[in-house]
Amino acid sequence: MTAPSTDIRLYDTAAREKRVFAPANSDRITMYVCGPTVYSRAHIGNFRPEIVFDILRRLLIHQYPDHEIVTARNFTDIDDKIMDRARTEDRTIEDVTAEAEGWYRDDAAALGCLAPTFAPRATETIGEMIAMMEALIARGHAYAAEGHVLFDVASDGDYGRVSHRDLDQMVAGSRVEVAPYKKNAHDFVMWKPSAEGQPGWDSPWGRGRPGWHLECSAMIEKHLGRTIDIHGGGQDLIFPHHENESAQSRCAHDGAPLANFWLHNGFLSFGKDKMSKSVGNVVTVDALLAAGHRGETIRLAMLMAHYRQPLEWTEDLLVQAKATLDRWYRLIEKKPAAEASVDLEFLDALSNDLGTPAALARLSSLARSKDVGALKGSAAILGFNFDAQERVRGPHALGQGQSVRHQQRISGASGENHGADVAAIDSLISERTAAKAARDFATADRIRDELAADGILLEDGPNGTTWRRT
Ligand code: AMP
Ligand code: ZN
């Protein structure tokens, strides 16, 4: 077996530290990422995990060529929000979920994300969920009450191992009324009864439907196995969703852990708040594409902050991502025959807990030194495939246009050709934007100061950073 050229280290939420990744099996690596509830169009925040775990998957494919990398991402297609939407719009549930699923697949593809090996729907996994509840009841970890099936949290001595929440404190501080059929306030619903007119499936506990947490446990067991290598999702899923998934699977499987690594991405915010449908501050992939942005630009913008850090979505991020891609394309177009290779410094940066800001800084430096082969080969691991694409310039081709404008201004002012300077300045501005997005203000300030020392003054405006000579 080929050993990876550099260790991949990943921050494991359960261990609360970075650990060196090692596949549990010699021939297969398994990864599961929680997917969307399909009742409306997902926003770009929902695609942060999609992109982040796509990058991890591509890194694993590169580093473990002898392994099969098997992934799954679910579609939650039974949920109260879906039922509400179908009722309000007088449509069937299948109609609502099929439409939203189609949008999600289209948007994920536009962002350059590989389709998962398995994309199971909750409604296709009901039999496996019922079997898992039966196993849990048989082992004394779940109980049936009034048409419900509940997980008995007190029966699991290891409850809390993913999120490290202190349940006693939460009970003391909570004022939520506890449903009468629960033995314990923290017991969670795995199955609930469906009234007439509501969708439901026959089960040993009557006609009903699953609670949200159970589907992921059942899908993982069905498609990937008892213990997977990596489980991912957004930070909002750590508790209760992932804690409950972990408890269900571990207790149904006599203590076998659900995942060896638990990874969680930070939130994408827009304005003051986390981007979310309930706040209403959402931006969708199709709206950005309609505005002339390319999927790869959105993808690159998303990588400018480290995946565990918050990322504030701004127009500036897209402008800088576009400028960076344009620069790369210009370089690559000049040397189309350059043989792709993967730069080790880039690989090290990315392998350090998916350090995309440092990895992108390295790509900028490869671009500056015109190492086209290494730029091309390394960027491919981030999902940017320059060879395979016909370049279509959208109406917002700011990167190139901006540089040309700058160049004309400089040439006009001094009568000299500063084309090389312009590329270098653009590149440094991109690095500074990435540093700011990663909250690395020391680096951002250093770049501004360095440029100032060269007589280049940066101005941050609503449409991005512009510059002029002093
Ligand atoms: P949901 O459809 O809300 O269950 O979300 C699907 C996935 O997107 C989950 O992994 C969430 O954690 C993630 N997610 C939702 N909103 C955001 C956001 N604003 N930033 C980053 N990830 C998010
Ligand atoms: Zn899940």
Residue with tokens 């404008």: 405
d(CA 332, CA 8): 28
- Gap from CA of 213 to ligand 2 centroid (Å): 6
Query: What H or E segment, with its residue span, contains residue 90?
Result: none
Regarding the beta carbon of 46 and ligand 1, being less than 6 Å apart is answered yes
Tokens standing for 463?
């449409």
Helices (H) and strands (E) in the chain, counts: 16, 15
Q: For residue 413, how far is the Cα from the chain centroid?
A: 45
Average pLDDT over residues 192-216: 96
Peptide bond into 240 cis (omega under 30): yes
Query: What H or E segment, with its residue span, contains residue 160?
Result: none
pLDDT-based confidence at residue 171 (cuts at 50, 70, 90): low
With a cut of 80, say whether residue 84 has pLDDT above it: yes
Regarding the beta carbon of 208 and ligand 1, being less than 6 Å apart is answered no
Please, which residues have CB less than 5 A from ligand 2, an ion?
A: 34, 216
With a cut of 50, say whether residue 372 has pLDDT above it: yes
Q: 397 or 316: which carries more pLDDT confidence?
A: 316
Regarding the beta carbon of 267 and ligand 1, being less than 6 Å apart is answered yes
pLDDT-based confidence at residue 327 (cuts at 50, 70, 90): very high
Query: What H or E segment, with its residue span, contains residue 211?
Result: none
**Residue having the nearest C-alpha atom to atom 1 of ligand 1:** 36
Choose the residue to mutate in 47, 48, 80 for probing ligand 1, maximizing ligand atoms within 8 Å of C-beta: 48
Choose the residue to mutate in 236, 237, 284 for probing ligand 1, maximizing ligand atoms within 8 Å of C-beta: 236
Q: Directed axis angle between helix 295-302 and helix 47-63, to 10°?
A: 80
Alpha-carbon dihedral of residues 181, 187, 190, 192, nearest 10 degrees? Answer: 20
**Strand-strand pairing, 9-12 and 17-20:** antiparallel
Q: Which ligand is nearest to the CA of 35?
A: 1
DSSP per-residue codes, 289-331:
HHTT--HHHHHHHHTSS-TTS-EE--HHHHHHHHHHHHHHHHH
**pLDDT computed for residue 205 by the predictor:** 98
Q: Which ligand is nearest to the CA of 234?
A: 1
Name the DSSP class of 242: I
Contact 58, 8 (CB under 8 A): no
- Gap from CA of 227 to ligand 1 centroid (Å): 24
Minimum mean pLDDT range among 73-87, 176-190, 433-447: 433-447
Name the DSSP class of 76: B
**pLDDT computed for residue 173 by the predictor:** 56
The CB-side HSE value for 318 (13 A sphere, CA atoms) comes to 20
**pLDDT computed for residue 420 by the predictor:** 37
Per-residue pLDDT tens over the stretch 410-469: 222 222 333 335 656 776 787 777 777 766 777 788 788 778 877 788 877 655 777 777
**Residue having the nearest C-alpha atom to atom 15 of ligand 1:** 46
- b vs e for 343-378, b when ≥16 Cβ sit within 10 Å of the residue's Cβ? bebbbbbbbbbbbbbbbbbbbbbbbbeebbbbbbbb
Regarding the beta carbon of 48 and ligand 1, being less than 6 Å apart is answered yes
Residue type, 205: W
Regarding the beta carbon of 276 and ligand 1, being less than 6 Å apart is answered yes
Tokens standing for 270?
């827009």
- Gap from CA of 358 to ligand 1 centroid (Å): 25
In 3D space, the residue among 159, 215, 175, 169 whose CA is nearest the CA of residue 191 turns out to be: 215
**pLDDT computed for residue 1 by the predictor:** 55
Choose the residue to mutate in 46, 262, 267, 272 for probing ligand 1, maximizing ligand atoms within 8 Å of C-beta: 46
d(CA 427, CA 412): 22
Average pLDDT over residues 284-291: 97
Regarding the beta carbon of 377 and ligand 1, being less than 6 Å apart is answered no
- b vs e for 24-46, b when ≥16 Cβ sit within 10 Å of the residue's Cβ? eeeeebbbbbbbbbbbbbbbbbb
pLDDT-based confidence at residue 390 (cuts at 50, 70, 90): very low
Q: For residue 287, how far is the Cα from the chain centroid?
A: 19
Regarding the beta carbon of 233 and ligand 1, being less than 6 Å apart is answered yes
pLDDT cut 90: percent of the chain above it = 77
Residue with tokens 């099996």: 25
C-beta neighbour count of 106 within 10 angstroms: 14
- Gap from CA of 33 to ligand 2 centroid (Å): 7
d(CA 109, CA 87): 30
Alpha-carbon dihedral of residues 419, 408, 391, 104, nearest 10 degrees? Answer: 110
In DSSP terms, 268 is beta-bridged to 311
- In angstroms, the Cα distances linking 231 to 122, 215, 217, 228, 265 are 18, 14, 11, 7, 11
The predicted model scores a pTM of 0.83
**Residue having the nearest C-alpha atom to atom 3 of ligand 1:** 36
- Gap from CA of 74 to ligand 2 centroid (Å): 8
